Amino acid sequence: MDFQTAEKKAKDLQNLLNQYSYEYHVLDQPSVPDAEYDRLLRELIEIEEQYPQLQTSDSPTQRVGGEVLDMFRKVEHNTPMLSLGNAFDEQDLRDFDRRVRQGTGDDVSYVCELKIDGLAVSLVYEDGLFVRGATRGDGTIGEDITSNLRTIRSLPIRLKEPVSIEVRGEAFMPKKSFEALNRARGERDEEPFANPRNAAAGSLRQLDPKIAASRHLDIFLYGIANLGETGIQSQSDGLDFLEKMGFKTNKERRKVADIEGVIEYVNSWVERRPSLPYDIDGIVIKVDSLEQQAKLGATVKNPRWAIAYKFPAEEVVTTLKDIELSVGRTGVVTPTAILEPVQVAGTTVGRASLHNEDLIREKDIKIGDKVVVKKAGDIIPEVVNVLADHRTGDEVEFQMPTHCPECGSDLVRIEGEVALRCINPKCPAQIREGLIHFVSRNAMNIDGLGERVISQLFAEQLIKDVADIYKLTREQLLAMERMGEKSVSNLLSAIEASKSNSLERLLFGLGIRLVGAKAAKTLAQQFITMDKLMDASREDLTAINEIGDKMADSVVTYFDSEEVQELISELKAAGVNMEYKGPRPVSAEESDSFFAGKTIVLTGKLEQMSRNEAKEKIEALGGNVAGSVSKKTDLVIAGEDAGSKLTKAESLGIEVWNEERMLGELNK
């Protein structure tokens, strides 16, 4: 075949295959058998292999996955991808409608759309050609996953008209693809994915696009970021326009005249959602008129013209087979329900925390009971109640032990507490949990020393206290299971790097009772060195505003222990830093900063720095950073995905800044 003939044939095949793919993946109306599509695709591949210059970026042959990437490039969204506020019941929806009508007048209609449980993405087209796709990220900056998105067959590589446009959608894994993927992983003795959403997110973040291609993802488009010259006046018209361009939109959407129509639509899907071939976790309600949307505007976090109704937590019945006890680093004994494994909200649940003995008594929970289980907030498994009518008489009443299940020491209940506690300082469980806490992110932050490795080191008696971490050798680590040269080198480097941490990290990592991360920072800033803190009296400690009597007693008691003093000496000998390295805070009187003397709350994700870094800078200028919003709060600084703290601040009329304004004030 000469070049001219091949060029025409390749173009014809590309157009034909793109049309067949659109009919199959978007319209769900295939016009040819799969075998015919495959035959034509092989023919096109052969032509492009013979004449590589005929292989265009929108060719169907380019959907199988390209070169393996080294990393994902960061990209900035031209228009921020805002998250949605949530509604959990009918009253929340009516409150949303009231706010909308107050801002626009009573003449308002809504578009209801299924909330697909997947991964939000932004797609950019130039002159009709797909040029870039990115994750939502923090709403402003996402990751470039163009190569992986190209593998989604329902996503058009070239639009039906040569428009330049940025659109938003939700990539997801259909239930059928999810089941096939987990079946294949099981055959390879690999851990199955928990749910389709996790599987979709994991697939789109593969550096090898061929893996994404093999997992058969799908996508629905739901919005246009920049309308440009389209002339679109409403959300419903925008969805029709997307269809016209060749995008796949969800057919279950409905335009309704008022909030009654919204509530009717929501209720119709509460029971029907399991019948869908993909997962949904709610309904998105949007004001239809774009003019009204613009009038309503947005908060720092959410558009005021849209809300996401979240379905009630799924509740299922299973059997409580046993109650298991665990001992935490502070000695608290926590009961955990061992359940007959059951699917709840897309994941398999086999355990649920029972918190304490009082809760077990309050809910009258017995071993062998049929119980109702749900995920609180669709995240944490929780035993809701017992089905007492299903009891057979074989159920066994649970008794909390009188002795520690790990070391056999007497358990005590401290006055004012509901928890039973083991107070043996040599309890193996407490030591192990204390080691895990010591290496955690907010403490010494030793990457590579996770719970599994710590438990293994402790079981093999290679570490008995935190000082032993700094005595580990390459030979000891290489002898352990699943520890190769590279992982051992990385771990030893992380241990060495942790020696230079500032004092507050060490104090928090030691797990002194009642001393959290904030108190550790306060103590480090006040005393500067470990030696000075160890010499501090109860009066020295209580003289500090944020240190109360109980915490002061706890600190003095801790450092009075000969075992603790010996431990600190060992850490010093290992080269662990014992001094505070951060900025000294100034008093409100000493500072002329706007933040001086003010109580400030940080919420949401910041882009330019972490919240901890922002906290340090504000406190260094004399500000007080609190963890919760109250009437005493002077200012809330809200980043992306700010939650209930932002809502409470708005309800109390507290001033709210975004990150940009905060940075402007910090840099003065």
Quickly list DSSP for 30-75: --S-HHHHHHHHHHHHHHHHH-GGG--TT-GGGGS--SPPSSPPEE
d(CA 633, CA 601): 7
For 225-345, where are the E strands, in sequence order?
254-256, 280-287, 306-310, 315-327, 332-344
- Which residue's entry shows tokens 């308002």? 108
b/e per residue, 60-80, with b = 16+ CB within 10 A? bbbbebbeebeebeebebeeb
Angstrom distance (rounded) from CA 239 to CA 169: 11
What whole-number distance in Å separates Cα of residue 356 and Cα of residue 273?
35
Residue 115: active-site member:
yes
- Return all residues near 416 (Cβ < 8 A) that are at least 6 apart: none
Catalytic residue, candidates 8, 9, 11, 115 = 115
Question: 233 Cβ partners below 8 Å, 6+ apart?
Answer: 289, 290, 291
3-state secondary structure of 87: strand
DSSP label at residue 302? S
| Length in residues, the chain | 668
Tokens describing residue 529: 């060195």
In angstroms, the Cα distances linking 396 to 139, 334, 339, 367, 391 are: 51, 19, 15, 5, 10
Residue 434 backbone phi and psi in degrees, to 5: -65, -40
Q: Nearest CA to 464 among 390, 380, 563? A: 563
Q: Which of 626, 409, 592, 667 is nearest to 518 (CA)?
A: 626
**Catalytic positions, written as ranges:** 115
